[in-house]
Amino acid sequence: LKIIEIDSLNSIAYNSAGNLFLGDLNDLEKAEEYLLKGYELDNNQFNLNFNLARLYNKKEEYALSIKYYEKAIEINPQDKDLYYYITTPYEKLRMYEEAEKNYLKAIELDAKDSDVYFDLGELYEYNFKIYEKAISQYLKILEFENEDHVNAYYAIARIYFYDLNDNEKAVQYLKKAND
């Protein structure tokens, strides 16, 4: 905070202070104050937009979170994590098609992130009720080495048991999960 006293026009300093309050100090009001001041000074700074998106996601102000994630994506369109992170506020607002679009963009940029496949599988399973698409996402996780496949096997078994009424396949995948 000393640097802000010395250079009150330093947007990076405001971002750093805001990030500190957002994370370690967990004071969302102070975080918002500092981040918005930094944003006033430079609204094209990636970290300010990213941290404002995180802040508003934490505050459950999802429309604002999306606004700042979209700005961060505009600044850094090759950051696959941004496409993944923006899915949370979209899902909270029940904007499932937008969430799906961003999961698919994250996969396009990095086809080796099992978390994205798993969460996309859950979106298909719980929100769209498209069980075959959900299973296909979970199966993609099984292609990755050095991944914990247990959750994917359980998810597939759950769909076969509860949604597709195929107990035989459900048991088959439960056995794989326990191997």
Tens of pLDDT, residue by residue over 2-59, are 778 777 889 999 999 999 999 999 999 999 999 999 999 999 999 999 999 999 999 9
Task: For residues 138 and 51, give the distance between their C-alpha atoms in angstroms, rounded to a whole number.
Answer: 31
Average pLDDT value for residue range 89-93: 98
Task: Write out the H or E segment, with its range, that includes residue 65.
Answer: helix 62-75
SS3 content of the chain, % helix, strand, coil (to 5): 75, 0, 25
Over residues 101-123, mean pLDDT: 97
pLDDT in tens, 1-10: 677 877 788 9
pTM of the model: 0.93
pLDDT, tens only, 134-149: 999 999 999 987 767 9
- Counting Cβ atoms within 10 Å, is residue 157 exposed (0-12), middle (13-18) or buried (19+)? buried
Tokens of 73: 């994506």
| Mean pLDDT (the chain, rounded) | 95
CA neighbours closer than 13 Å in the CB half-sphere of residue 159 = 23
Please check the confidence at residue 102 and state whether its pLDDT lies above 80: yes
> Which residue has 């009424």 as its token pair?
165
For residue 85, pLDDT beyond 80: yes
pLDDT value for 1: 67
